[in-house]
Structure formats: C-alpha cells, structure tokens
Amino acid sequence: MTAEEVPVGQTLDLGSHPVPEEEIIRFASEWDSQYFHIDPAVAQESYFGGLGASGIHTLSIYQRLSVNGLFERYDVIAGKEARHVRFIHPVRAGDVLTGTVFIDSVEHDGRGRATVITTGSLRNQDDVVVLRLQMEALIAANAKST
C-alpha cells in the first residue's frame, strides 16, 4: 500500500512482546553490556535493584511490533529519524510489553514520496508506559498526491 492509505489521526494496536531474562541478557551482551543489563546477581546492587532491559533493546521491541503491525503493509523507503525516544520506566525480566502507534501526519512531496510521522509507545503488563518516541519515515506515494 502507498502513503495515501496510512490512517492519519488513528491509533493502532501493535500487539505484545514478552521479555524473558534470556532475551535481555542476549541483546545486551552484544549491544549494551552494562552490568545491570547482563548480570542478574550484580544488578541486585544497581539503582533499580535488579536486571533491566537495555533502552536500545526496548526500542528494538517497539520497532519489531511497529514493523509487523504497521509498516510492513506499506512501501517504506527508509526510516529518517527517531525523535524523543524516552526510556520512561525500567523493563524487567518477565514483563510483557504492548505497543500502540498514533499516526500524527502524512506529508506528500508531490513527487511520489511522503513523510509519515508517528508517535509510539510501549506499556507493560501493569499499564505503565515504559517507552515513548516519535518516528519519521519516508513511504512511497502516488506521484500525483499533494
């Protein structure tokens, strides 16, 4: 589908992703090896009193949910920018994160492309928001759209 079919002004449910301890440790061991992401015993001594997921891991979970629940249906050209990616609340082993995305705007360039701005969030099983962000992506459009 092209950018004309992106539902501006709507909020979409992106489904859920459970976060087992194994995944927290595996992601962080490769990309963010701070002790409070990879060592459950030592993480007990950290500010949050236990293992927590890397923020980049949490963002990756959002990306997975938003690709599967929204973007894969469109002719995406590229992601341009992630803005205000706020790590609001710790993500713990055993959490189940549920995503939603709001379509802020679709701006056509009149030459077959549109800039799509979305605001996304992840909540945990206690309905606490753990991540919020704004994403700007370039999606193919019908060339005549304005």
Binding residues vs its own copies (CB under 8 A): 30-34, 47-48, 54-56, 59-61, 63-64, 67-68, 71-72, 76-87, 90
Tally of CB atoms within 10 A around 79: 12
Length, in residues, of the chain: 146
- Residue (9 or 122) nearer to its own copies, CB: 122
Residue 55 to residue 59: CA distance in whole angstroms: 6
Report in angstroms how near the CB of residue 103 gets to its own copies at its nearest: 18
The answer to whether 122 touches 58, Cβ cutoff 8 Å, is yes
Distance of alpha carbon 64 from the chain centroid: 7
- Residue (6 or 9) nearer to its own copies, CB: 6
The SS3 assignment for 105 reads strand
Report in angstroms how near the CB of residue 102 gets to its own copies at its nearest: 19
Report in angstroms how near the CB of residue 15 gets to its own copies at its nearest: 14
- Residue (9 or 35) nearer to its own copies, CB: 35
